[in-house]
């Protein structure tokens, strides 16, 4: 067993194809500036034709492994948080681990929607502490293939990207996940969904074209639930970690919408300068947004010993939570 875990490597990757708001606004008949005013997004990235989830995840994972300095043979587990696997079956994590050359790694997909990275990170932290072995955590999504291109609610938000990190055993106190609060609310199960493709509504010749795409039934309800849940979970995680707003050095929320995470930041009393945001240029890639943004922040200023980083998200299901990471 290890005393704690420590995040020792980060990586991120976004496709080359940049899709600016002007392209979507022209297609959807929206006035110039409509998308940015409502979401904070100016552009997003889409994968090229023929690219799949593991193609997107691979470069981010490679970066995290290289940064960690840990031998690939020592990675004991690979957790892949995604809502858009290469196939419905088999899971994509074993293929990703194989392509990365991880000869002894277990591998499994986690479907936690936008909160998936938080769940994967919490599980990884527990595994590292219990087993004393490193874990690779990857979050990636190809949401450009799951949006209705003529639906202004979803088409303007979602994007493709990947983020990754490596957790390793540590003998220092106060590192790794030091505060956690995870939650769900199945009463809101229908708010965000892709109707067809599961056992409830299998694909068939009668499947309506729109049923294969993501739908958001009530945007106002999603906003309210996200702000309330992210705020409550963040407060609980901070309390468990024994820290206050002034101790948080970086706030890395799920990049759903600037209005959502700014409302959460104000509710928590966090300083504007600690907010990490990549939404303007990269949009909302669901579970990938937190590790992607954390990696971008670390590129600009590597985390210092003693830093406390707050992560929080809400996604379809509804699933949600918050973690405090110590460095």
In tens, the pLDDT along 92-108 reads 999 999 999 999 999 99
Task: Write down the pLDDT at residue 1.
Answer: 80
Q: C-alpha angle 235/237/239, rounded to 5°?
A: 70
Confidence at residue 209, expressed as pLDDT on a 0 to 100 scale: 86
Distance in angstroms (rounded) separating the CA atoms of residues 93 and 138: 9
CATH class of the domain at 177-326: alpha beta
| Residue-level length of the chain | 327
User: What percentage of the chain carries pLDDT values higher than 90?
Assistant: 95
- For 173-213, the pLDDT digits (tens) are 999 999 999 999 999 999 999 999 999 999 999 999 889 99
| Cis check: omega of the bond before 90, within 30 degrees of 0 | yes
Q: Could you give the CA distance from residue 82 to residue 276 in angstroms, rounded to a whole number?
A: 22
Per-residue pLDDT of 233-268, as tens digits, reads 999 999 999 999 999 999 999 999 999 999 999 999
Confidence of residue 287 (pLDDT cuts 50, 70, 90): very high
Given 13, 21, 254, 257, the catalytic residue: 254
Q: For the whole model, what pTM was predicted? A: 0.97
Catalytic residue among 21, 114, 165, 233: 114
Examine the residue annotation and report whether 114 is marked as an active-site residue of this protein. yes
Give yes or no for a contact between 81 and 116, defined as CB atoms under 8 angstroms apart: yes
Query: Smallest Cα–Cα separation from 75: which of 124, 117, 123, 119?
Result: 124
Domain 4-171 has CATH 3.40.47.10: yes
141 is catalytic: no
The predicted structure's pLDDT at residue 108: 98
What residues contact residue 11 under an 8 Å CB cut-off, 6+ apart? Answer: 59, 60, 61, 62, 63, 64, 65, 66, 67, 163, 164, 165, 295
Kindly list the distances between the CA atom of residue 227 and the CA atoms of 52, 186, 245, 266, in Å, as whole numbers in the listed order.
32, 17, 17, 10
Q: Which of 314, 118, 105 is nearest to 221 (CA)?
A: 314
CA distance 87 to 77: 21
Q: What is the mean pLDDT of residues 27-43?
A: 96
- Looking at the chain, the domain(s) classified CATH 3.40.47.10 span 4-171, 177-326
């Amino acid at each position: 067993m290890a005393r704690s875990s420590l995040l020792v490597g980060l990586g991120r990757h976004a496709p080359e194809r940049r899709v600016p708001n002007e392209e979507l606004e022209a297609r959807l008949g929206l006035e110039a500036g409509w998308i940015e005013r409502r979401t904070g997004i100016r552009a997003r990235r889409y994968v090229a034709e023929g690219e799949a989830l593991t193609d997107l995840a691979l470069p981010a994972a490679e970066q995290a492994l290289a940064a960690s300095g840990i031998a690939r043979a020592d990675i004991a587990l690979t957790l892949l948080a995604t809502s858009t696997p290469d196939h419905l079956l088999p899971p994509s994590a074993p293929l990703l681990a194989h392509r990365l050359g991880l000869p002894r790694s277990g591998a499994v997909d986690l479907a936690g929607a936008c909160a998936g990275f938080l769940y994967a990170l919490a599980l990884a932290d527990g595994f590292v502490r219990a087993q004393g072995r490193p874990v690779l955590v990857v979050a990636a999504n190809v949401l450009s293939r799951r949006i209705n291109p003529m639906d202004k609610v979803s088409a303007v938000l979602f994007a493709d990207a990947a983020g990754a990190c490596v957790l390793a055993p540590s003998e220092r106190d106060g590192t790794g996940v030091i505060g956690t609060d995870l939650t769900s609310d199945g009463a809101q199960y229908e708010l965000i969904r892709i109707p067809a493709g599961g056992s409830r509504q299998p694909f068939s010749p009668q499947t309506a074209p729109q049923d294969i795409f993501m739908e958001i039934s009530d945007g106002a309800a999603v906003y309210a639930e996200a702000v309330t849940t992210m705020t409550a979970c963040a407060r609980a995680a901070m309390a468990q970690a024994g820290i206050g707003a002034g101790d948080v050095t970086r706030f890395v929320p799920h990049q759903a919408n600037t209005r959502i995470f700014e409302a959460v930041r104000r509710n928590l009393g966090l300083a504007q300068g600690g907010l990490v945001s990549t939404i303007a240029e990269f949009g909302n890639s669901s579970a990938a947004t937190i590790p992607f943004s954390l990696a971008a922040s670390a590129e600009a200023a590597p985390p210092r010993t003693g830093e406390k980083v707050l992560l929080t998200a809400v996604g379809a299901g509804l699933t949600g939570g918050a973690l405090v990471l110590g460095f």
